Structure 1
């Protein structure tokens, strides 16, 4: 959890759904969630996040982190959506209910763990 100088939460990195306090243009709440994806040595993985229940979906590109479970302590590195050499990159997208994560060949052989933050508006909150 990130806090301000008074100890109040700014961003809570919880794995539970959070109402961000922001609203979509039609007044519905915008939610935030984080997913930890244990990829092992794989560089392609899909995770069911029930995205079919979302009207709008946004992956926060500044919040994606990577670590390798081989290191101790674990260091967390920001992941970038693209890299011009195609070697060290991450591609994250949603199709149907699933979040797809594809890592570049530079991640091959590591015990990869990716952390992804996403924002969404629920279909069930329609007014």
Structure 2
């Protein structure tokens, strides 16, 4: 056999340490790959918890609603009483009054509960139905 096919013993002595060094480096590369994989898994877990609980930006103080002027409150009473006067003895329902005045029905109902009950001229003629006394 020729020496070209098989390396000489001197060449083998040089190859063996290089092969061992190569195996050690490959082992280090595998360890580094494993560490990178662990970090990417923990980074995904951190990202998932961050997405689940978004950080809210402080919006500062909220502006309070401006109070309605007293004239407008008195005007509401006059408008409701005016509508009931026009309706006559038949009266109007709270929904009808609210739609004609452009108000919420709940607000009209509250007006009748607090303000309307104190007025002697008003009478309840049915469920959510009011009229002025004749």
**TM tier, smaller:** under 0.3
Greater strand proportion: 1
Q: What is the TM-score normalised by the length of structure 1? A: 0.25
Query: Under a length normalisation based on structure 2, what TM-score does the superposition of the two structures give?
Result: 0.24
Task: Flag the structure with larger Rg.
Answer: 2
